[in-house]
């Protein structure tokens, strides 16, 4: 038996459903020095609870996890933190009071959560991570373009969370801890969880939300009396303001669909899709609606509460939360620290998907162990977050509004491929073809449909730096048009591609 074969023999999965991911098959390695280095890394990873499998499809025999409620606790922990509050605080920028912004948050969240919740159900049936499954629409090589866009989106979200976490830590240190150092601490803590992978991630998310929820409840209790000091507006909001803020909410929710199945691939194939959808939908929607609404209430009260305004001017979101918890004294400061660490639930899961996407970015990167990309992730996020902290809310507004356009176009293509060309059958995705360009679609139809849709999307965008002629009359309807137009264009383009390519 060759050394590589011995590694494969030792790496056969065990039946324990809670330990399967980190004991999956060792990835194929070339012979020589590189092979020896990778075998050492692989054995070191197996010694701990580190997931050694990367982007490759999960075989049926390794899809053994039965604890379906993990899906709920993961999404719940990812969204039970101060990120939703931060997004809700953007409402006053669009001239929306608490009542109007709450209705926008409720409607757009309930609508857009359907996408990530549904795509979560694909993981157990295909054994594929979300962006790997996209190869069956975009092809082996052209999928690098949406993967790159997804990486930019995920990393930008992580930058936002690292900045907010750094602001919270700085706000309780009375100037003795800079925002930059707080960012570094947040990123380092995240690295450890994403390095370990699936099992440790789910274990962490199972409990991470508890301290966050307690801290938020106490903050509302101690600072809630000031929330009644809401800013009043002279006129009802324009439809354009409603749609533009709706775009912000949608841009928070829709991107989760680009990583949904990353967290469900180890579930047993016969796991109820209804249960997965319900757990995902509730875990995503409920905390988002509540915390964004709270953020809107805080944002609309800041101008009328002088000490909140002073704290906001000093360290933005972290400062306001520290001011709300100030009546609790030292315990309040302790809770602000817990609130900063509440972001780890979201950061850890998002960075885990980043490590998988980095493996997919270029075909040869699949040979690099997934867990090593967690170090690359930290090296990227820390300097970007330190730079973004200088003008945080401007950076946040400009970035978030752009996410919904490409993700809507991408998801429309993936869904049309699934329902129309594969008849809604997950068995129609040949797992053996995942890395074979000759058996996968060209991807020209998928990329063409998404790109051509921007002929209508661009005139429908309403951004600080550009407002299209359609958006001037309607508000930002870019993500809606991206979804509809891309899906419609993909039908004839994919039909023609199939006819010429025979795949």
> What was the pLDDT predicted at 163?
82
pLDDT value of residue 158: 86
pLDDT at position 175 is 61
Phi-psi sector, 231: left (phi>0), alpha (psi -120 to 50), beta: beta
* Residue 162, both tokens: 């690292």
For CA atoms 89, 90, 93, 97, give the dihedral sign.
Answer: negative
pLDDT value at residue 16:
39
Cα atoms found within 13 Å of the Cα of residue 156, Cβ hemisphere only: 19
pLDDT at residue 38, rounded to an integer: 56
- Name residue 267's beta-bridge partners: 65
β-partners of residue 65 are 267
Low-confidence ranges of the chain (pLDDT < 50): 1-20, 23, 25-31, 44, 47-48
pLDDT of residue 36: 59
* Residue 115 pLDDT: 96
pLDDT digits (tens, 9 = 90+) for 340-359: 888 888 888 888 898 899 99
- Which pLDDT value is given to residue 291? 95
The pLDDT tens digits of the residues spanning 434-466 come to: 999 999 999 999 999 999 999 999 999 887 678
List, in sequence order, the alpha helices (H) in 260-372: 273-299, 306-325, 330-342, 344-361
Q: Residue 315: its pLDDT value, please?
A: 76
Residue 370 confidence (pLDDT)? 83
pLDDT at position 119: 97
pLDDT in tens, 17-53: 334 455 454 444 444 555 655 555 555 455 446 777 7
pLDDT of amino acid 30: 47
Residue 144 neighbours by CB under 8 Å, 6+ apart: 360, 361, 362
d(CA 239, CA 117): 28
Q: What's the pTM value of the predicted model, to 2 decimals?
A: 0.86
* Distances, alpha carbon 108 to alpha carbons 102, 448, 452, in Å: 10, 28, 25
Using CA atoms, how far apart are residues 355 and 87, in angstroms rounded to an integer? Answer: 25
Distances (CA, A) of 400 to 250, 251, 362: 9, 6, 26
């Amino acid at each position: 038996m060759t050394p590589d074969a011995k590694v494969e023999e030792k790496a056969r999965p065990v039946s324990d459903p809670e330990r399967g991911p980190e004991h999956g098959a060792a990835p194929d390695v070339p012979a020589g020095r590189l092979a020896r280095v990778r075998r050492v890394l692989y054995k070191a990873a197996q010694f701990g609870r580190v997931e050694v499998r990367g982007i490759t499809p999960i075989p049926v025999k390794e899809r053994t996890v039965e604890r379906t409620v993990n899906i709920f606790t993961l999404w719940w922990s990812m969204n039970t933190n101060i990120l939703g509050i931060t997004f809700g605080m953007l409402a006053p920028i669009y001239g929306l009071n608490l009542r109007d912004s709450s209705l926008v948050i409720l409607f757009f969240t309930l609508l857009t959560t359907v996408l990530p919740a549904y795509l979560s159900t694909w993981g157990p049936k295909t054994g594929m991570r979300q962006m790997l499954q996209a190869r069956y629409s975009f092809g082996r090589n052209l999928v690098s373009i949406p993967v790159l866009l997804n990486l930019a989106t995920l990393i930008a979200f992580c930058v936002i969370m690292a900045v907010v976490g750094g602001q919270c830590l700085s706000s309780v240190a009375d100037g003795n801890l800079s925002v930059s150092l707080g960012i570094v601490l947040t990123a380092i803590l995240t690295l450890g969880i994403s390095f370990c992978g699936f099992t440790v991630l789910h274990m962490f998310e199972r409990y991470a939300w508890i301290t966050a929820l307690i801290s938020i409840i106490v903050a509302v209790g101690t600072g809630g009396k000031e929330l009644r000091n809401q800013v009043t507006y002279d006129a009802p909001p324009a439809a354009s303001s409603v749609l533009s803020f709706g775009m912000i909410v949608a841009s928070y929710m829709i991107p989760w669909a680009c990583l949904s199945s990353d967290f469900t691939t180890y579930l047993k194939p016969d796991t109820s899709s209804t249960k997965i959808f319900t757990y995902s939908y509730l875990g995503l929607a409920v905390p988002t609606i509540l915390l964004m609404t709270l953020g809107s209430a805080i944002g609309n009260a800041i101008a009328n509460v002088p000490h909140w305004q002073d704290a906001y001017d000093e360290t933005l979101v972290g400062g306001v939360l520290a001011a709300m918890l100030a009546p609790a004294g030292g315990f309040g400061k302790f809770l602000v620290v817990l609130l900063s660490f509440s972001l780890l639930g979201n950061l850890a899961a998002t960075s885990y998907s980043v490590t998988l996407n980095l493996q997919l970015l270029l075909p040869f990167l699949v040979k690099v162990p997934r867990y090593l990309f967690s170090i690359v992730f930290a090296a990227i996020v820390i300097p970007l977050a330190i730079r973004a902290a200088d003008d945080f809310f401007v950076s946040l507004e400009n970035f978030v509004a752009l996410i919904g356009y490409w993700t809507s176009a991408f998801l429309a293509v993936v869904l049309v491929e699934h329902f129309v060309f594969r008849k809604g059958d997950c068995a129609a995705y040949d797992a053996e073809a995942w890395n074979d360009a000759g058996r996968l679609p060209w991807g020209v139809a998928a990329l063409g449909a998404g790109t051509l849709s921007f002929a209508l999307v661009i005139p429908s965008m309403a951004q600080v730096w550009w407002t299209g002629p359609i958006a001037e009359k309607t508000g930002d309807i870019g993500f809606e048009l991206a979804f509809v137009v891309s899906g419609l264009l993909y039908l004839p383009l994919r039909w023609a591609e199939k006819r010429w390519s025979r795949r």
